[in-house]
Structure 1
Amino acid sequence: MKLVWSPETASKAYIDTVKSCEIFHESGVAELASAMAAGWNAKFIVETWSQGGPLAMSTGLAVASHHTNGRHACIVPDERSRLEYETAMKEAGMSPEVIVGEPEDVMDKVAGIDFLVVDCKRKDFARVLRLAKLSNRGAVLVCKNASSKTAFGFRWRSVVDDGGSRRLVRSVFLPVGKGLDIAHVGSNGGSSSSGKGEGKWIRHVDRQSGEEHVIRK
């Protein structure tokens, strides 16, 4: 099996995230991430978060997990971050699973990832991507804050292509929020060529700038 795109589920998650993220200023990023996670029918969604970080993305991923009947887990570095995250998410009506520990130390607990979001502001974000145990269906990897200096010189193939179980199918950078760098990773034995019916389009309008972004997945 492999990840299969569902535009109907993506649209529903997008709309629900718009409603859930009205209190956040950076909701455009959350809406797009939610639509992608739901559209790919991600059964296991994982993100990394640190104290003081924005929560709109987390809300969007939680919404997506409800639409896919999937699992949503957030990795936080310490108990203080866990308390802040859980309190804020409960106020938003969400209750995702929280795993405490440095990402590289807890990856054994999160095997089979379909959709992974990491923060480029973290110096270890590339290492987290390398260590991630992805689903045998393939996965979608998202780097937020990808316009930051930390992401300068980053190349997907350096963390994705391992010569064995996973390979880079396609990647795209979107100037949404502070930048999203997105990669679709295929499982071993799949094909990276585009066949009939594979091309799907996502239309996203940034609510703050009014800019329209159309991407092909």
Structure 2
Amino acid sequence: MKLVWSPETALKAYIETVKSCELFQESAVAELVSAMAAGWNAKLIVETWSKGGVIATSIGLAIASRHTGGRHVCIVPDEQSRSKYAEAMEEAGMSPEVVFGEPEEVLQRLVGIDFLVVDSRPKEFARVLRLAKLGNQGAVLVCKNASLRASSFRWIGVLEGGSRRLVRSVFLPVGKGLDIAHVATSGGNSGLSKGKKRWIKHIDAQSGEEHVIRK
């Protein structure tokens, strides 16, 4: 499945998410990720969630999966979180797949991820990004609560040493910060010529400093 942007699908998911999440805090994050996942026609949408997290983002991703005919899976750390998450989603009229366990075990079963949203607060969030088995045509990776994570995080550090490479990344001051990356894999077409150098800009969420890297 090639990642091809569809503005019509993105708009439909955005509007539905606005209506569904108007009573939730941080609904802007939900609306944005919903439109992105739907617009990229993501068939396997995966997110991480822990007890106490905002549920609006999950509602937005569930709506996106309906518009793309895809699969929405949420990874939680334990049975208690699974129960709380399922209960909250049922109240919202949603029923995504929920799995819990160690990232190494869970992510072995989720192959071909097109759209991944991780909460930057848990310490293992970067490990989830590294272990994720992305689709052959690449994927979109999203870190929410990015302003709360360690300032040492770099996309290049997460992706180095494998078959994945960063096409572009952007930090958006939405909610508590969204750090978004478009990643190409060796099995897909990134739209960039082989061997061609490209300047990549990254803004540090903590300091606001702008870093420009040639890759």
- TM-score, normalised to structure 2, is 0.86
Q: Report the CA distance between 1:192 and its aligned residue.
A: 4.6
* Corresponding residue SS for 2:30: helix
* Corresponding residue SS for 2:183: strand
- What is the rounded CA distance, in whole Å, between the counterparts of 1:102 and 1:28 in structure 2? 30
- What is the rounded CA distance, in whole Å, between the counterparts of 2:192 and 2:73 in structure 1? 32
The match for 1:77 is 77
Q: Which amino acid aligns with 2:189?
A: G
- What is the rounded CA distance, in whole Å, between the counterparts of 1:87 and 1:181 in structure 2? 28
Deviation digits for residues 152-178 of structure 1 (CA, Å, limit 9, x no counterpart) = 1211111124342x2111000000000
The match for 1:182 is 180
Task: Judge conservation of contact 1:114–1:140 (CA < 8 Å) in 2.
Answer: yes
The match for 1:7 is 7
The match for 2:111 is 111
Backbone CA RMSD of aligned residues: 1.4
- What is the rounded CA distance, in whole Å, between the counterparts of 2:45 and 2:162 in structure 1? 24
Structure 2: segments with no counterpart, 5+ residues = 194-215
Q: Which amino acid aligns with 1:5?
A: W
- What is the rounded CA distance, in whole Å, between the counterparts of 1:163 and 1:102 in structure 2? 21
- What is the rounded CA distance, in whole Å, between the counterparts of 2:116 and 2:84 in structure 1? 21
Q: How has the CA–CA distance of structure 1 residues 191 and 116 changed in structure 2, closer, same or farther, with 3 Å as cutoff?
A: closer
* Corresponding residue SS for 1:121: coil
The match for 1:197 is none
Task: Judge conservation of contact 2:169–2:182 (CA < 8 Å) in 1.
Answer: yes
Q: Which amino acid aligns with 1:8?
A: E
Task: Judge conservation of contact 2:25–2:54 (CA < 8 Å) in 1.
Answer: no
- What is the rounded CA distance, in whole Å, between the counterparts of 2:4 and 2:150 in structure 1? 29
- What is the rounded CA distance, in whole Å, between the counterparts of 1:102 and 1:136 in structure 2? 24
Q: How has the CA–CA distance of structure 1 residues 191 and 76 changed in structure 2, closer, same or farther, with 3 Å as cutoff?
A: closer
* Corresponding residue SS for 2:109: helix
Q: How has the CA–CA distance of structure 1 residues 41 and 162 changed in structure 2, closer, same or farther, with 3 Å as cutoff?
A: farther
Q: Report the CA distance between 1:181 and its aligned residue.
A: 0.3
Q: Give the stretch that moved more between structures: 7-16 or 99-108.
A: 99-108
